[in-house]
Amino acid sequence: MNQLDQLKQYTTVVADTGDFQAMQAYAPQDATTNPSLILKAVQKDDYRHLLEKAAHDHRTEGSAAIVDRLLVAFGAEILKIIPGRVSTETDARLSFDTAATIAKGRALIALYEAAGIARERILIKIASTWEGVRAAEVLQREGIACNMTLLFSLPQAVACADAGAQLISPFVGRIYDWYKKATGIEYTGADDPGVQSVKRIYAYYRKFGHATEVMGASFRNTSQIIELAGCDLLTISPELLARLAASDAPMTRKLSAEAAQAQHIEPITLDEKAFRFMLNDDAMATEKLAEGIRLFCADSIKLDALVGALTTA
């Protein structure tokens, strides 16, 4: 078997793309999207019609509502291809507004349900700020499953699990980027700080019986993926899916619940003060969280501009 097929024995493979053709090529179980991926997709001729239709059919609703409809249109098309779930992201500009994030999550689910798509097939992506975690706690109680994104640290992961989040997406590649820049070291294999972070989170969850799923994200190379074989899910770009599919090198399981439960791990007790202090104490997590929110906000603004140009033309 190629490495992609080997990986699928241990881990649920998720496509990290807005490109429908890539999903069809690699047959993932789930798919994830974000503002950057959708912005990239709608600038291609193959997908621009989705943008134009959303803008034309809902031109009186305002750019924010039209973007929501665009995100759901992409999600609906993706769900025709994959058997599992699609993740749709809330506006990163709401990352520090609990009430607005709750409202956005409800609105996105309502649009999906109006399109005949059950909420069980949707994950609402929310930034792993304290405010985002509190929003997820409310949405989860309402049966709206959440994917906690922009996650770079164990305290964020613990807060998400305590809130009952369905899934978290720790960003392996962005953690690697920070440490590479800070130290000048090209980390590989098990020494990669991003890999180590996901392994710590996975072990903590399995040690203490948290049901929240762990989905490694934001990969820079296949070595990071290979080291996390056995993680609940991994969301992988088409480029790296292609490399895995092209390699027949052996892959072994690196993460398991049994191995995690055998580890000595101290539990972490969090309230808001402890969460903020521990996050602040981690320079990498603090900087990458802030940077990630800024980047997603910038792409959301660009999407708004594309919609605005079509509705005023």
Strand partners, 216: 234
pTM of the model: 0.95
Could you report the per-residue pLDDT of 264-298, keeping only the tens digit for each? 999 999 999 999 999 999 999 999 999 999 999 99
Residue 114 CB neighbour total at 10 angstroms: 9
Cβ neighbours of residue 239 closer than 8 Å, sequence gap 6 or more: none
- Cα-Cα-Cα-Cα torsion 11, 17, 20, 26, nearest 10 degrees, comes to -30
From residue 226, give the alpha-carbon distance in Å to each of 4, 14, 192, 215, 270: 10, 15, 12, 14, 32
Q: How many residues does the chain have?
A: 313
Q: Which fold has domain 3-311?
A: TIM Barrel (3.20.20)
Could you report the per-residue pLDDT of 37-75, keeping only the tens digit for each? 999 999 999 999 999 999 999 999 999 999 999 999 999
Q: What is the C-alpha separation between 237 and 256, in angstroms, rounded?
A: 24
Is residue 80 annotated as a catalytic residue, yes or no? no
Q: Catalytic residue among 40, 44, 53, 125, which? A: 125
Ranges of each domain in the chain: 3-311
pLDDT in tens, the chain (313 residues): 999 999 999 999 999 998 898 899 999 999 998 989 999 999 999 999 999 999 999 999 999 999 999 999 999 999 999 999 999 999 999 999 999 999 999 999 999 999 999 999 999 999 999 999 999 999 999 999 999 999 999 999 999 999 999 999 999 999 999 999 999 999 999 999 999 999 999 999 999 999 999 999 999 999 999 999 999 999 999 999 999 999 999 999 999 999 999 999 999 999 999 999 999 999 999 999 999 999 999 999 999 999 999 988 6
Residue at 260: amino acid letter: A
Strand partners, 123: 87
